[in-house]
Amino acid sequence: LEENISELKDAADRQERFIGSFAHEVKTPMTSIIGYGDLLRGQTLGEDEQLQAAGYIVTEGKRLVSLSQKLLDLLVLRQGEIVLTPGRPAALIQGLAAHLEPLYTKQSITITCDCEDGVCLMESDLVKSLLVNLWDNARKSMQGRGGCLCVRSEMLPDGCRITVRDTGRGIPSAALEHLTEAFYRADHSRARRQGGVGLGLSLCREIAKAHNGNIRFESQEGMGTTVIVELRGGTP
């Protein structure tokens, strides 16, 4: 009984944090959009200031769109059923690496892939979304310092294991257990400057769960982060 009460309390606490975080995430950009909109409407700004205000409104508007889309994706994943079909994780990873390499090269980040060939059941678009989120987090952690993004995949009897390792700034140990909570950010100010909405890793967790899998994190500040994802949706 005590265990059940404790679980219910934890669930209620998570729900309360979610509602509070969601309200904050919406209120902050809306306040800025309304404020800059009033300034533009008052026609009291110079030309450069008008461009700056318009740019800020567009940026914050895009962040709200991203927030709503990711919330919708989470809702669909939690309530819907996905269809798993045969796919090759190695081909997916290598194709994504080839597509993103120019962006990462500009930031002095090297992408290396060590992928075992094989086929397993998965939803390729969702797995690609998972990879994009993990890689983008890695890129942001190395921004301004360069480094290496190392991706490895290996086949399992019932799926595959994907490991994403970066040489970025790392994550405080106290934050590791909270990373997949909606709206959680280990470094709130930096994540906001980089355009994050704090839902990427929550999506990754739900995508892994949809494949009967899991996601876990290993990190040390100043030494980088390793993310291990197991997708156990089965094999053809």
- pLDDT winner (highest mean) among 61-70, 209-218, 225-234: 225-234
Could you read off the pLDDT of 193-203 as tens digits, one per residue? 444 445 678 77
Distances (CA, A) of 88 to 29, 81, 119, 155, 235: 40, 21, 5, 10, 11
Provide the token pair at 234. Answer: 């089965």
Could you read off the pLDDT of 10-69 as tens digits, one per residue? 656 555 555 555 555 566 667 778 887 888 888 777 888 888 888 878 877 877 776 676
- Say yes or no to pLDDT of 191 above 50: no
- The answer to pTM > 0.85 is no
- Say yes or no to pLDDT of 129 above 70: yes
Phi, psi for residue 228 in degrees, rounded to 5: -115, 120
What is the structure's pLDDT at 36? 79
Average pLDDT, the chain: 81
> Which residues, other chains included, contact 121 with Cβ-Cβ below 8 Å and sequence gap of 6+?
84, 85, 86, 87, 159, 233, 234, 235, 236
Q: With 0-12 CB in 10 A as exposed, 13-18 as middle and 19+ as buried, what is 152?
A: middle
Instruction: Tell me which of 6-20, 109-123, 133-147 is least confident.
Output: 6-20
